[in-house]
Amino acid sequence: MRYFTAEEADALIPELEEIFSAVAELTAQAELKAADLRRRQDAGDSDPAASAIMRSQLQFLAQGINEWIQKIVDLGAMPKGVDPALVDFPGNVDGRDIYLCWKLGEKRVTHYHGMDEGFSTRRPLKRR
């Protein structure tokens, strides 16, 4: 497992913003497609072939989302949420293993939490 400094995590923020922008776009497309499919099914689905195509398109969009999320893992970070977009970076504070915690919209990593804790227990990161 790679350990990050706050500065190393900060350097990845532009790439993370790009990733989450793509995920948001694909998610919006998938939500529209899923709503269309539900409407077809609620109306009795008079065209099963068209519905099958829509399901295939939904699977394709889901695969795209997963590929973008995998890019975060490939960076050595841990995606923790998409809405809101959250990422943890393994790190170390005062000799203790922690997760540096970043939320979309934050310009730099400013918080951390313990390895067995989550977003709700974030504490401010003392930076030099």
The answer on pLDDT for 41 being more than 90 is no
Rounded Cα–Cα distance for residues 124 and 45 (Å):
53
Rounded Cα–Cα distance for residues 127 and 110 (Å):
8
Give the model's confidence band at 1: pLDDT under 50 very low, under 70 low, under 90 confident, else very high.
Answer: confident
pTM exceeds cut of 0.85? yes
Query: What are residue 122's phi and psi, to 5 degrees?
Result: -55, 140
pLDDT of residue 116: 92
Q: What is the pLDDT of residues 45-91, one digit of tens each?
A: 778 888 899 999 999 999 999 999 999 999 999 999 998 999 999 99
